[in-house]
A and B are shown apart, each in its own frame.
Chain A
Amino acid sequence: MIITRSWLQEWIDISQISTENIIQSLNSIGLEVSNHYKIVLPEKVVVGYIKTKSKHENSDHLSVCEVDVGSEILQIVCGAQNVAVGQYVCVSLIGARIGDITIKKSRLRGVDSNGMICSAKELGIGDLNDGILVLDDSIGDIVLGKELREYTLLNDEIIEVDLTPNRGDCLSVYGIARDLAAYFDLLPKLPMYEEKDNLLGIGRIVSIHSIQQKSCAFQYRAFEITNKSTIQLDLLRRLRIYFAQLTKKIKLDEILAYCTYSTGVLLRAYDFKKICPSCVKIVIDIKEEESGNYGVYVEDKRLSLAGIIQEKAQVDDETQIVLIEANYTSPHLIAKAVGSNKELVGDTHVYNAIRGSEPDLNVGGDFLFSILSKFSGLNLYAGFQQILPNRDKKVINFSINSISNMVGRDLINNDIVKILKKLNFEVDVREELISIKIPFYRHDIENSHDICEEIVRMIGIDNIPSKPLKFRESNNICEQYFEYKNKKHIRLNSVANGFFECLHYVFDSKDELLSLGFKECRKRIINPINSELNMLRPTLFNHILKSCERNTKNSKKAIKLFEIGSVFDEFGKEKQRLAFLASGLKNESSLQYGSKPEMVDFINFASLIQNIIGNFNCVPTKTIVFLNPFEQAFIEINGEKVGYIGRLDLNIERKLKLFKTYFCEVDFDKLKFNEKVAYPYSKFQSTTRDLSFLVPDNLKFKAIKDAISGLKIDELKDFRLVDIYGDDSIKGFKSYMIKFVFQSHEKTLEDNDLVCFIDKIIMVLKNDLDIGLR
């Protein structure tokens, strides 16, 4: 809602209240002010009167005007099409600053010009109309030569209020004024409309017929247009229409929109002749539709659905007799209709109706007719025809005590009663119990919590104390907290190992995922945000790969990323995954790593992952289609597959212009986070021996590992491959240097003990795998 100070002033007397105070008060009663500013017209711009206008002799589009600015008559050249003799206009005198320009004496195509006649846009008011701004007395008495910045109505203050969806009653200037009035203890000003005596009664052309119902109110009025050129809103109102963006193609529609915006009453205009070209009088029939909504019928022809849509007999510029309908429909009926027809959502009429429009139809009708009565070319009909719903005001009972407890502060009976009365609730007090009747326009009030909210916003949250709540429960550490802690543990480990945490959307591109060999998720998003994000992701791979690509394009040489997030299987079941990607250099070049650091490799990448998730084995596989088939493995912990690791398929690396890139994805739920258990360790010295074996190229190291482990030598504490060597002299073979660590729990091992163990190892490798020492 955009309102202006002068507009608000029309509905509540705020002349003694500063704008700052109004804004603060609106915020404190729950009508959030999201923006506000003041229009300040430039200095040396004054009221002028166009005395004469003649055509510029050297130009088709320029006019030369004599303009009376009170103290003198100035010759000014003007290019606007709408300039005319008899207009009061805004004249920038010599020396005025308009935007970035200072007005100077000038010659335009040979004619002297001593100032400028301004448009609203040039004055900083806004793009109100084509051509110059023409003044009228709606902004105050027109005094020639008076500075325009002295007209307060022209230098208005604009206040933008963000309304919450429950406050349909404040979707009008009147509504906001009414709420502010309660806060400031003032009375809102209602429109005054007094009918003239000699008007024709509306009963001559319209009567109304309806069933008894509880949800709708209709009121009909009418007028006849005899001279449409007199229907012209004054400058002040046109300014407001511009600020509130109510501009409409058809003038009558614009006036109605202005009245609805001012009063909150939903108004519609019908062209009487279009309803029934031959009728002198029509009978309006209000009928309940199957949907529960109410239709407006004439001779079984539906003209409109109340609060939703006008289907027939719209007014146009040729309309002569206009039938005005003011309507209120219970918001929940509108909500149902909108629920089944989403196209209605954007309509402003529906927007107001669904949030609850003003049920006091008289306010709207009177306001409209008070404006229309000022136009000379109209004949208004006297009175109105209306039907009102048969309903009682809602009653809510509550105790002062319950409100005090909810607020957390002792409240006094009288204070509460006073606040509720100011808000137009009818209050009945019986000792501790209060019974109130809710005004029809407050659709949002349904229970004692709503009443509490009214109290809270009127006394102000600032006046509520701040009190700690006492503990009553035992400790709250739960399973999900441990899951969070475990994730945090993994995240911190990842960071310590050089990986950057990233976040990506859980949606991903279906086409790309299918091309990576993933199956389509059967849980389909029916309204994806775009075709790039149209499927729940089955993997963290694709997004992280794209982030890698972006970073590569940004000239990053060492890229290490990780993510913990949700993925979804083919059936839409959610799982937690952990993914790592390392691309390019192991480290950025520096004194420590040299000017040309090494590229990341499988062993290096896997060992970083192991630092993070704990010990694992690599089990060779070729099943991950987007990884290089000759450099990929399942990650196995305690015999369970928990994820996979490997280098990207080289086609992907090449296509995306990536450096050497490794990826790993792990099922988070399969990781274990048990507390470590210490085992007894020997107090005797350990001894190491390095042995080199000649191993055929096609033998996997795992075979050697299994053979040695199979010996179950208790004293063999550890053995690890520490070097691989190969040259032409040992073609078809590689030399593996393995470091063995021996240690006994009983004694310091002696040479002959060691010889015995090493012989066993050499024997088993010879016998089982036919490999020997180099």
Chain B
Amino acid sequence: MDDLKSNISQIQTLEELEKIRIKYLGKNGIISNGFLKLKDLNGEEKKHLAQELNTQREYLNDLISKKKDELENKKIEQRMQSEAIDVTLFNEYITTGALHPVMHTMDRIIDYFVAQNFSVKSGPLIEQDFYNFEALNLPQFHPARDMQDTFYFDDMELLRTHTSPVQIRTMLSQKPPIRMIAPGAVFRRDFDLTHTPMFHQIEGLVVEEGDCVSFANLKHILQDFLKFMFGDVKIRFRPSFFPFTEPSAEVDISCMFCGGHGCRVCSQTGWLEVLGSGIVDPNVFKAVGYKDVSGYAFGLGVERFAMLIHKIPDLRSLFEGDIRLLEQFK
């Protein structure tokens, strides 16, 4: 028996093991044949042999099945080894495309304001003078119209120069309270290194009845918004002028390129202008027939935000569908 044990332990393949199994435990195997002898025996002798045979059979069974497990495990082990792959072969491109950085920035801005319960409004690109200028306290011949060089059509309609006409359209179609933003393309007749004839703005407007909307409210939302967009930057409000707001302020953030020490991007000032805002001018409310209301408004250039956040150096490249730029935003 001990010989057999060492014999089995030296077996290398499942086939050899099977041969041994058949030799001892098969139909005509040694053990099976042993059982045949029982019919010639009686009494104690028979009982004794039967016991011995059973013990041997169990012992053998156990030995072989253990060896079988061992050999099978070994075989799988070998297969895994032979099928091993070099995981460092993984070296694929991302095969998705990417959102345009300007549109992605617009998405983020919209996300913020929607979370503040602003509604998202839109309006036509071809506008009438009334919505784009007149109702926004920019009467004809007003010098502030110089600020925005306009594309005109032969019927004297125009391409909107800002998203502000959507304010007017919204106020004419509903009553306060209003809390809206208007994202979209705008157009100015300007084409050089830092200007494209089309770009994108987001306009915001809040109007409530009575005099409850204050400059302090405007300050609060813009500070919160700019932290959301730019992270931990310093924020500065500067009095300024827009025809449709009074008082007006421009909002600067500390330059993220130089940390506010002054560099080429911020013209050595340490500040980057990012927003225009103010309390809605009473003439605008007059133009839409609102009485006894108060409100604030703000506007921003989406390209400027995108260029600052993603450090994109060239404005015009944004309109050329250049994959060398776009694939960086995968």
Contact = CB atoms under 8 A, between A and B. Distances in A.
B181 to A, nearest CB: 10
A503 B103 contact: yes
A480 B247 contact: no
Contacts of B319: 502-505
Interface stretch (B11-19, B51-59, B61-69, B112-120): B112-120
B255 interface: no
A529 interface: yes
Contacts, number: 269
A443 to B, nearest CB: 11
Given A406-B211, A469-B220, A452 B246 contact: yes
Interface stretch (B39-47, B75-83, B149-157): B149-157
A32 interface: yes
Contacts of A469: 206, 208, 212-213, 217, 220-221
A476 interface: yes
B119 A476 contact: yes
Interface stretch (A192-200, A322-330, A483-491, A655-663): A483-491
B3 interface: no
A444 B147 CA distance: 17
A437 to B, nearest CB: 19
Q: Which of B92, B157, B213, B240 has the most CB of A within 10 A?
A: B240
B122 interface: yes
A551 B323 contact: yes
Contact of A164 (B118, B213, B240, B318): B240
A280 interface: no
A472 B319 CA distance: 41
Contact of A496 (B96, B140, B322): B96
B215 interface: yes
Interface in B134-164: 140-144, 146-147, 151-155, 157, 159
B253 interface: no
Given A164-B241, A166-B144, A466 B321 contact: no
Interface string B17-28: 000000000000
A669 interface: no
A189 interface: no
Given A452-B246, A500-B327, A554-B322, A335 B143 contact: yes
A405 B294 contact: yes
Nearest to A350: B143
Contacts of B95: 498, 587
Contact of B141 (A339, A402, A506, A523): A339
B154 A461 contact: no
Given A457-B247, A574-B126, A587-B95, A408 B216 contact: yes
B322 A550 contact: yes
Contacts of B180: 476
A407 B215 contact: yes
A503 B312 CA distance: 15
| Main secondary structure on A side of the interface with B | mixed
A462 B215 CA distance: 11
A590 B99 CA distance: 23
A453 B152 contact: no
Contacts of B92: 590-592
B242 to A, nearest CB: 8
Contacts of A550: 320-322
Given A477-B119, A478-B119, A591 B91 contact: yes
Contacts of A592: 92
A497 B95 CA distance: 8
Contacts of B155: 523
A223 B102 CA distance: 62
B177 interface: yes
Given A164-B241, A355-B143, A477-B119, A501 B318 contact: no
A572 B238 CA distance: 40
A465 B219 CA distance: 8
Nearest to B250: A32
B220 A466 contact: yes
A497 B99 CA distance: 12
Nearest to B279: A406
A506 B126 CA distance: 11
Interface string B208-249: 100111111101110100000000000011111100001111
B269 interface: yes
B215 A547 contact: no
Given A497-B97, A526-B152, A406 B323 contact: no
B97 A562 contact: yes
Contacts of A450: 246
B48 to A, nearest CB: 58
A628 to B, nearest CB: 22
A569 B96 CA distance: 33
A402 B211 CA distance: 8
Contacts of A409: 214, 216
B119 A461 contact: no
A34 B267 contact: yes
B221 A447 contact: no
B84 interface: no
Contacts of B120: 478, 480-481, 484
A350 B157 CA distance: 27
A527 interface: yes
Nearest to A533: B197
Contacts of A527: 151-152, 189
A453 B324 contact: no
Contacts of A339: 140-141
Interface stretch (A22-30, A135-143, A643-651, A709-717): A22-30
Contacts of A568: 126
A35 interface: yes
A494 interface: yes
B198 interface: yes
A478 B174 CA distance: 13
Given A336-B141, A476-B118, A494-B97, A574 B320 contact: no
Given A497-B97, A587-B95, A449 B240 contact: no
Contact of B214 (A406, A457, A530, A574): A406
Given A409-B216, A529-B189, A507 B197 contact: yes
Contact of A480 (B122, B177, B185, B237): B122
Given A523-B153, A528-B151, A556 B239 contact: no
B129 interface: no
Contact of B326 (A456, A502, A507): A502
Contacts of B144: 165-166
Interface in A439-473: 444, 447-450, 452-453, 456-457, 461-462, 464-469, 471-473
Interface in A76-119: none
Nearest to A561: B321
Contacts of B31: none
A405 B294 CA distance: 10
Q: Which of B126, B154, B247 has the most CB of A within 10 A?
A: B247
A501 B279 contact: no
A154 interface: no
A158 interface: no
Top 5 closest A-B pairs, CB basis? A408-B216, A547-B321, A408-B214, A30-B239, A164-B241
Interface of A: 27-30, 32-37, 164-167, 331-332, 335-336, 338-339, 345, 354-355, 402, 405-409, 444, 447-450, 452-453, 456-457, 461-462, 464-469, 471-473, 475-478, 480-481, 483-484, 488, 491-492, 494-507, 523-530, 533, 543-544, 546-548, 550-551, 554, 556, 559-563, 565-566, 568, 572, 574, 587-588, 590-592
Given A468-B221, A503-B319, A529-B197, 17 more contacts: A30-B238, A165-B144, A332-B141, A405-B294, A449-B281, A449-B282, A456-B239, A461-B237, A471-B117, A495-B96, A497-B97, A501-B98, A506-B125, A524-B153, A543-B321, A554-B322, A559-B323
16 contacts: A32-B250, A35-B269, A406-B211, A447-B246, A447-B282, A466-B220, A468-B217, A476-B118, A480-B122, A498-B95, A500-B327, A526-B152, A546-B321, A559-B323, A565-B185, A591-B92
